[in-house]
Structure 1
Amino acid sequence: MSYRSSWMNDDLDIFRETFRRYLSTTLSPWAQKWRADKMIDKEAWLALGEMGALCPDMPEEYGGLGGTFAHVAAVIEDLEYELPEMALPVAVHNAIVAQYVLHFGSHEQKQRWIPGLASGQLIGAIAMTEPGGGSDLRALRTRATREGNAYALNGSKTFITNGQIADLVIVAAKTDLEQGTKGISLLMVEADGSDGFRRGKNLDKIGMHASDTSELFFDNAFVPAENLLGGQEGQGFYQMMELLPKERLAIAVSAVASMERMVQITTDYAKERNAFGKPILEFQNTAFVLAERKSETLIARVFLDWCIERAIRGELDQVAASIAKYWTTDKQCETADECLQLHGGYGYMDEYEIGRRYVDARIQRIYGGTNEIMKLLIARSL
């Protein structure tokens, strides 16, 4: 069955053909090294910038391609297919960090940061989660105290994607301790120019080994007042609520692309692997499992495409994004489990792609707001 997403067009087809070929021939050979190093080389980011794969939806005046969320989705999908090691780091960079600067930054802030994000000279991260806080943004303890023309930032963050290599970090902090969520602001921390900012260790994870994940510490870290995102204190929670749907949709994009890839490689394996004198695809159980996985993957794809269309039009709402995030990532984990089972013992080997995808999939149900939080948000709409 051939299926082409409704949001695709001829220009994107040309871009993706070149992009996928570049990933498979030039960057993919480095994936094993990155997994071992727990880090992606800076040169790879610069290469993506040259390809136009970083911030492709940013306006041309700021160094982007002037595209739409379709370009962001296409890049995530192609990375998930060809080079999954880079899918999450780039999604954070493209679908989160750059979006905050574009939507809430002043013209001066956009000029200052987006060109570097688009070229790969700057790598972005966002620091919301704190030790003991999890998905509860209301429980933030990191403080930003105004001192003259700067803020003194104090606190710590954890589980920060790109934390080891980020040049620009969006930090959620309390600028008013008495105002609850109305006292949260977003500060842009430039790693090279912030005394008091320190990176913790590169955390050991069960999956996503090439994606660095860090603790970040702020001990009277110096942040110029001009780095307040949006120019007004107390807007951080509302800024996060406005852009979280797009972040969650990006996670769903990755989930569906991974499902499609896992069904593909498992079907290929089942055609080649013989047992009891015939390919295992000829056994009814194998065929039925893959038939179910293909069906659910196509259903996920159609719903995802509907959500992407809404995002392109600026109509994506919190409920639809929450449904997409929770349902596709649940199905991604189910698909990983069943496809690994069909690989038998080989599926448990790290050298097999399905094994790596199995452990990588599990975090999808946690970050971006746990799937339990997604169900809570959906329930509130009933």
Structure 2
Amino acid sequence: MSSKDFTVDEVAQHNKQGDLWIVIDAKVYDLTRFADLHPGGANVLWAPGVGKYQVPSPPISWNALTQPPHTPTAGKDATDVFFGLHRHEVLLRPQYARLQIGTVRGETERIKPPAPGALSRVPYAEPTWLSPGFHSPYYNDGHRRFHNAVRAFFMAEVYPEAMRCEENGKRVSQALVDKLSAMNFLAMRIGPGKHLQGRVLMGGVVTPEEYDHFHELILNLELARFGTRGFVDGLLNGGVIALPPIFNFGSPDIQARYVPEILGGKKYIALAITEAFAGSDVAGVQTVAVRDGDDWVVTGTKKWITNGTFADYFTTLCRTDQGPLVLLIPRSDNVSTKPVKTSYSSTAGTAYVIFDGARVPASHMLGKVGQGLYVILSNFNHERWMVAATSLGAQRVIVEECLKWTNQRIAFKKPLHAQAVIRAKLALMIERVEACQAWIENITHQMNNVRSLAGAVVVHVSTDYRFISRSGRETAEDATQMFGGRGITMGGMGKIVENFHRTSPFDAILAGAEDVLGDLGVRQAIRKIPKDARL
């Protein structure tokens, strides 16, 4: 790339086929050889009659059209046109960056990519506790340092792979898992507890003793900012939901044998509960475990198991003649998996799991026979809180995308936000995301101050999960309307909106159907109504 300066008049002379320059944000690009490769076709760069195709005679009557005739970008400043069609990241790609031959004399770049870890300056793009002039009773300076470290690390190390994996469907690389494990990423995502003792968290930014559920909330919110829903689940979510039963109900020997290699990113685990026979009806599982001496023999199938395609172990709910049982089942010749295609990326490793007479030592029991439902149900509340948090993080990104888009998109000769209906949609999106943030922070505060996710917290986790998931789908619909055709295109300006619109229903299903959880929350609340309460 040359650092040469050009005058506006010099650029203007290169405005025809075979000699085509344009200006984007004070930078001069030579598109002469690239014009025919332009994704939108070369004709958008030239005026009618200048390029390959001539205007017929007599000329087209533009008076009948509501828009002015096509204005060529060749030899001109194409900044507004470019940002009406492309994301800023396009200019940063090596194949396009090398087309820059210089800059416009006397002008400076105005649109710069944010530095890694930098906060967005778009209103409502960040939680208010991160916004200048705002304060929160929940967060302290330690949380801010942790947030800064997490965002910088995620943008530098995780974001590039998130983009690749979301598109190609491949599982997260071992190289990235090793980097995350060095930060004790999975251990932190499980939340505060004894499993953090002696570990260096996020390079020492926070100690195990300081680490609380707000640190964990920050991790979940930041992880969801990439707009890559399948990758969020593919990034060891199986461990987040499958390890707690081992911590809480596994024997010391089982914990010592399996936990270190899983937290260290050397082995992978999945939670195997859902079946084609049983979804929200957890008690309806048909996978059978039969005792045979010192072993259990397991036969049955599980479906929609996150990380199942690459899991080495499965925390599995079975039924026995004495009641439900949870077993830790290693992959073996009698345990096989097949990928399940869903509407989000296969990088999540969603699997159909088949247990064909798999023998499991009795020492691999997590809890007692008949205690299986208690083991699993006690695990659900944290999972639902986690899913709600990642859903919220993704929603806030959509709010930012829409605010940016309606500011730069020109329709009917005005910015899109000049339309009252658009402003009304933006208002509702902002209201929803801020209400979701306030509710989940209140619950997180309670989690920091109770011994277990039980009692009143269960009521709020269930109903908050439903509220956030429903809000997400409403926001997805509004965002798609704002982006139009771009909002249903897997790439380009609306790619993040498209991904969210396509995958937001996952948040309403994976940790329990939202309608079932809404009903659970209400039933729990009704049980707590005082007997003497009257109008």
The reply to whether TM is greater than 0.5 is: yes
Where 2:337 maps in the other structure, the secondary structure is strand
- Alignment check: 8 A CA contact 1:150 1:224 kept: yes
Do residues 49 (structure 1) and 181 (structure 2) align?
Answer: yes
Q: CA shift at 1:362, angstroms?
A: 1.2
Do residues 74 (structure 1) and 218 (structure 2) align?
Answer: yes
The match for 2:358 is 221
Where 2:347 maps in the other structure, the secondary structure is coil
Q: CA shift at 1:197, angstroms?
A: 0.7
The match for 1:203 is 340
Residue in structure 2 matching 1:149, options 294, 297, 300 = 294
- Alignment check: 8 A CA contact 1:64 1:118 kept: no
Structural RMSD (CA) = 2.1
Residue in structure 1 matching 2:403, options 235, 249, 267 = 267
Residue in structure 2 matching 1:347, options 487, 497, 500 = 487
The one-letter amino acid paired with 1:146 is R
How high is the TM-score relative to the length of structure 2? 0.66
TM alignment of 1:103-142, pairs within 5 A: 103-142=248-287
Q: CA shift at 1:279, angstroms?
A: 1.3
Where 1:301 maps in the other structure, the secondary structure is helix
Where 1:141 maps in the other structure, the secondary structure is coil
Q: 1:91/1:8 Cα in 2 relative to 1: closer, same or farther (>3 Å)?
A: farther
Q: CA shift at 1:63, angstroms?
A: 4.9
Structure 2 distance, partners of 1:331, 1:346, is 21
Residue in structure 2 matching 1:244, options 380, 386, 403 = 380
- Alignment check: 8 A CA contact 1:91 1:250 kept: no
Q: CA shift at 1:61, angstroms?
A: 4.1
- State which drifts further: 132-141 or 342-351: 132-141
TM alignment of 1:88-103, pairs within 5 A: 88-90=233-235, 92-93=237-238, 95-103=240-248
Structure 1 distance, partners of 2:271, 2:301, is 13
> Number of aligned pairs?
373
Q: CA shift at 1:93, angstroms?
A: 3.5
Residues 265-293 of structure 1 show CA distances to partners (whole Å, capped at 9, x for unaligned) of 11111111111222112221111211111
Residues 199-223 of structure 1 show CA distances to partners (whole Å, capped at 9, x for unaligned) of 12x1111124431200000011121
Where 1:164 maps in the other structure, the secondary structure is helix
Structure 1 distance, partners of 2:137, 2:388, is 17
Q: CA shift at 1:234, angstroms?
A: 1.7
The match for 2:327 is 187
How high is the TM-score relative to the length of structure 1? 0.91
Where 1:154 maps in the other structure, the secondary structure is strand
Q: CA shift at 1:68, angstroms?
A: 3.1
Structure 2 distance, partners of 1:353, 1:229, is 40
- State which drifts further: 68-77 or 259-268: 68-77
The match for 1:367 is 510
The one-letter amino acid paired with 2:212 is T
Q: CA shift at 1:162, angstroms?
A: 0.2
Structure 1 distance, partners of 2:333, 2:239, is 27
Q: 1:265/1:276 Cα in 2 relative to 1: closer, same or farther (>3 Å)?
A: same
Which structure exhibits the higher relative contact order, with contacts defined as CA atoms closer than 8 Å and separated by 6 or more residues?
1
Where 1:313 maps in the other structure, the secondary structure is coil
Structure 2 distance, partners of 1:241, 1:26, is 35
Where 2:327 maps in the other structure, the secondary structure is strand
The match for 1:288 is 424
Residues 71-112 of structure 1 show CA distances to partners (whole Å, capped at 9, x for unaligned) of 332221111013634322447345422222222223222222
Structure 2 distance, partners of 1:309, 1:100, is 23
- Alignment check: 8 A CA contact 1:256 1:297 kept: yes
Where 2:501 maps in the other structure, the secondary structure is helix
Structure 2 distance, partners of 1:82, 1:62, is 31
- Alignment check: 8 A CA contact 1:198 1:216 kept: yes
Residues 308-348 of structure 1 show CA distances to partners (whole Å, capped at 9, x for unaligned) of 11222235432211101111100011111111210111111
- Alignment check: 8 A CA contact 1:336 1:358 kept: yes
Q: 1:311/1:68 Cα in 2 relative to 1: closer, same or farther (>3 Å)?
A: same
- Alignment check: 8 A CA contact 1:79 1:86 kept: no
Structure number having the greater helix percentage: 1
Q: 1:39/1:257 Cα in 2 relative to 1: closer, same or farther (>3 Å)?
A: same
The match for 1:380 is 523
- Alignment check: 8 A CA contact 1:127 1:172 kept: yes
Q: CA shift at 1:379, angstroms?
A: 3.0
Instruction: Structure 2 unaligned segments of length 5 or more: list them.
Output: 1-122, 130-135, 202-207, 527-535
Where 2:185 maps in the other structure, the secondary structure is coil
Structure 2 distance, partners of 1:124, 1:299, is 34
The one-letter amino acid paired with 1:145 is V
Q: 1:234/1:133 Cα in 2 relative to 1: closer, same or farther (>3 Å)?
A: same
Q: Percent identity?
A: 23
Q: Looking at CA atoms only, which structure, 1 or 2, has the larger radius of gyration?
A: 2
The match for 1:19 is 150
Structure 1 distance, partners of 2:253, 2:142, is 31
Where 2:510 maps in the other structure, the secondary structure is coil
